[in-house]
Amino acid sequence: MEKQFVIDDLKLGESWRLFRIMGEFVEGVEKLHDLGPAVSIFGSARTAPGDPAYKQAVHTAALFAKEKFAVITGGGGGIMEAANKGAAEAGGVSVGLNINLPFEQKPNPYANIQLQFHYIFIRKVMFVKYAMAYIIMPGGFGTLDELFEAVTLIQTHRIRPLPVFLMGSDYWGGLVDWIKARLLKEKLISPEDIDILQVMDDPEDVVKAVKKVVIICPSARQRTCGRRLHADDQAPV
């Protein structure tokens, strides 16, 4: 009899892999479920500490930490290290979601909450599930992958809308122009889809914009009360 479903053809080793997948989900949820208001900051693992983007990531993360946001990164070097460093040195919660890769990805020492993932799709779930905003710094293919996965999930209403900020008009402006000139012009996306992306240069402006769509706890100890504002809510003064 011909097998009807792919799952019927799972071998023993593949079935045990499902337990590892479940285990990574459970560990992530257990460590992060009380995180409270948080932002995910993305960018290149190759950015050197002397690079202006590295310094901007440190500053941006520190500003968010001072406003009682946890900062989530991929846990590696470059921009990820910079954001974890900024959050930790500002006395905030600094989360590193590290991934096993053959190169570039080594845990940085600045994350005070560390998680190690084998499966990249589980890591991506944690970025989306616990962040109230995405901050995209200059980066390569990995950063673009994380950016467009978030945009697609928002566009297709698979997750609640969350602000997506592209930091650096010099870096991201050309990409946004191309999206408008090709995808929007050829009606491959809708006009409202382009509004998902917001290009900004000033870290202070990004923090203010995120605060407008998020209610923040008055005490750093009450981290579980952060939530997104709904359309009929009023932004905090």
Q: Specify the CATH number for the domain of residue 155.
A: 3.40.50.450
In terms of Cβ atoms closer than 10 Å to its own Cβ (0-12, 13-18, 19+), residue 179 is middle
Distance, CA of 85 to CA of 59 (rounded, Å): 9
Tokens standing for 225? Answer: 């009360």
Q: At 119, which amino acid appears?
A: Y
Distance, CA of 158 to CA of 150 (rounded, Å): 10
Share of the chain above pLDDT 90, in %: 75
Tally of domains within the chain: 1
Q: According to the model, what pLDDT value does residue 102 have?
A: 77
Phi then psi for residue 90, to 5 deg, are -90, 5
Distance, CA of 214 to CA of 189 (rounded, Å): 27
Question: pLDDT tens-digit profile of 157-215?
Answer: 999 889 999 999 999 999 999 999 999 999 999 999 999 999 999 999 999 999 988 76
Residue 161: count of CB within 10 angstroms of its CB: 14
Distance, CA of 103 to CA of 101 (rounded, Å): 6
Q: According to the model, what pLDDT value does residue 225 have?
A: 45
Q: State the pLDDT confidence band at 101, using cuts at 50, 70 and 90.
A: confident
Domain annotation covers residue 74? yes
Map tokens 């202006």 to a residue.
52
**110-119: average pLDDT:** 95
Share of the chain above pLDDT 70, in %: 84
Distance, CA of 115 to CA of 37 (rounded, Å): 18
Cα distances (angstroms) measured from residue 221 to each of 13, 38, 114, 123, 130:
44, 14, 20, 26, 17
Tokens standing for 7? Answer: 């799952």
**Three-state SS annotation for 64-133:** HHHCCCEEEECCCCCHHHHHHHHHHHCCCCEEEEEECCCCCCCCCCCCCEEEEECCHHHHHHHHHHHCCC
pLDDT averaged over every residue in the chain:
87
CB 21 within 8 A of CB 10: no
Domain annotation covers residue 215? yes
Domain annotation covers residue 66? yes
Distance, CA of 82 to CA of 62 (rounded, Å): 10
Question: pLDDT tens-digit profile of 31-59?
Answer: 999 999 999 999 999 999 999 999 999 99
- Please report how many Cα atoms fall inside a 13 Å half-sphere around the Cα of residue 201, on the Cβ side: 5
Domain annotation covers residue 41? yes
Domain annotation covers residue 180? yes
Domain annotation covers residue 143? yes
- pLDDT of residue 16 exceeding 90, the answer is no
Find, among 86, 80, 84, 83, the residue nearest to 101 by Cα. Answer: 80
Give the residue numbers spanning the domain of 94.
34-228
